[in-house]
Amino acid sequence: MSYVVGTAGHIDHGKSTLIQALTGIDPDRLEEEKRRGMTIDLGFAYLVLPSGRLAGIVDVPGHARFIRNMLAGVHGMDAVLLVVAADEGVMPQTREHLEIVDLLEVSRGLAVVTKVDLVEPDWLELVTAEVSETLATTSLAGAEILAVSSTTGAGLEELKVRLDLLLAGTPLRQDVGRPRLPVDRVFTIGGFGTVVTGTLVDGSLKVGEELELQPSGRRARVRGLQQHNRKVEAAQAGSRVAANLVGVEKDELDRGEVLARPGTVSATRRLDASLRVLADSPRPLRHGAQVMLHTGTAEVPARAIVLAGDQVAPGSTGWVQLYCEQPVAVATGDRFVLRLPSPSATIAGGAFADVNPRRHPRHDERVRESLERRLAGEVLQEELRKYPRGITEKALLRATLADVADASRLEARRAGQWLFAAEAWSALADRAKQALAGYHRAHPLRGGMPREEMKSRLGLAPAAFGPVLAAFVKDGLLAERDGELALPDHRVEIEPATGGPASRLLELLGARPFAPPSLPEAMREAGASAEVVRALAHKGDLVRLSEDVAFTRAAFDAALEQVRAAVARDGTVTVASLRDRMEASRRPILALLEYLDAQRITRRVGDARVLR
Ligand X SMILES: Nc1nc2c(ncn2[C@@H]2O[C@H](COP(=O)(O)OP(=O)(O)OP(=O)(O)O)[C@@H](O)[C@H]2O)c(=O)[nH]1
Residues that bind ligand X (CB under 6 A): 9, 11-17, 38-39, 61-63, 114-115, 117-118, 149-151
255 binds, among ligand X, Mg ion, none (CB under 5 to 8 A by kind): none
Rounded least distance, CB 292 to ligand X, Å:
21
The answer to whether residues 198 and 182 touch, using CB atoms and an 8 Å cutoff, is yes
Of 241, 180, 215, nearest in space to 58 by CA: 241
Kindly tell me which of 2 and 39 has the beta carbon lying closer to Mg ion: 39
Indicate which of Mg ion, ligand X, none lies near residue 198 (CB less than 5 to 8 Å, by partner kind).
Answer: none
Q: How far is the CB of 338 from ligand X (least distance, A)?
A: 23
The answer to whether the beta carbons of residues 66 and 15 sit under 8 Å apart is: no
Which C-beta is closer to Mg ion: that of 16 or that of 194? 16
Give the number of residues in contact with Mg ion, rule: CB under 5 A: 3
- Nearby residues of 56 by Cβ (< 8 Å), 6 or more positions away: 2, 3, 4, 5, 44, 45, 46, 199, 227, 228, 239, 240
Cα 33-34-36 angle, rounded to 5 deg:
65
196: exposed, middle or buried (Cβ count in 10 Å: 0-12, 13-18, 19+)? buried
Three-class DSSP category at 384: helix
Identity of the residue, 63 or 303, whose beta carbon is nearer to ligand X in the bound complex = 63
CB of 60 to Mg ion, least distance (A): 8
11 binds, among Mg ion, ligand X, none (CB under 5 to 8 A by kind): ligand X
Q: Minimum CB separation from ligand X for residue 3, in Å?
A: 21
Buried b (16+ CB within 10 A) or exposed e, 282-294: eebbebebebbbb
CB of 56 to Mg ion, least distance (A): 17
Per-residue H/E/C for 497-537: CCCCHHHHHHHHHHHCCCCCCCHHHHHHHHCCCHHHHHHHH
Among Mg ion, ligand X, none, the one that 184 touches (CB under a kind-dependent 5 to 8 A) is none
Say whether 475 sits in a helix, a strand or coil.
coil
Q: 59: helix, coil or strand?
A: strand
From the list 13-21, 244-252, 418-426, 444-452, the region that binds Mg ion by CB under 5 A is 13-21
Q: Min. distance of Cβ 242 from ligand X in angstroms?
A: 22
Q: Which residue is nearest to ligand X (CB)?
A: 62
In the complex, minimum distance from the CB of residue 146 to Mg ion, in angstroms, rounded to a whole number: 19
Q: Is residue 17 involved in binding Mg ion (CB under 5 A)?
A: no
Selection from ligand X, Mg ion, none that 151 binds (CB < 5 to 8 A by kind) is ligand X
Distance CA 503, CA 511 (A): 12
Contacts of 499 (CB under 8 A, 6+ apart): none
Closer to ligand X by CB, 38 or 54: give it: 38
Please say which residue, 31 or 251, places its beta carbon nearer to ligand X.
31
Beta carbon of residue 66, minimum distance to ligand X (angstroms, whole number): 8
Q: What angle do CA 291, 75, 175 make, to 5 degrees?
A: 130
Cβ of residue 39: shortest distance to ligand X, in angstroms? Answer: 3
What, of Mg ion, ligand X, none, does residue 117 touch, CB below 5 to 8 Å by kind? Answer: ligand X
Site mask, Mg ion, residues 34-73, x = CB under 5 A?
Answer: -----x----------------------------------
Q: How far apart are CA 345 and CA 359, in angstroms?
A: 28
* Phi, psi dihedrals of residue 271, rounded to the nearest 5°: -140, 135
End-to-end CA distance of the chain: 82
**Residue among 158 and 233 whose Cβ is closer to ligand X:** 158
Closer to ligand X at the Cβ: 38 or 397? Answer: 38
Does 114 contact Mg ion by CB under 5 A?
no
> Is residue 374 a contact point for Mg ion (CB under 5 A)?
no
Q: Which of ligand X, Mg ion, none interacts with 139 (beta carbon under 5 to 8 A by kind)?
A: none
Rounded to an integer, what distance in angstroms lies between the CA atom of residue 357 and that of residue 355?
6
Q: Give the separation between CA 132 and CA 23, rounded to whole angstroms.
A: 27
Site for Mg ion contains 16 (CB under 5 A): yes
Binding site for Mg ion (CB under 5 A): 15-16, 39
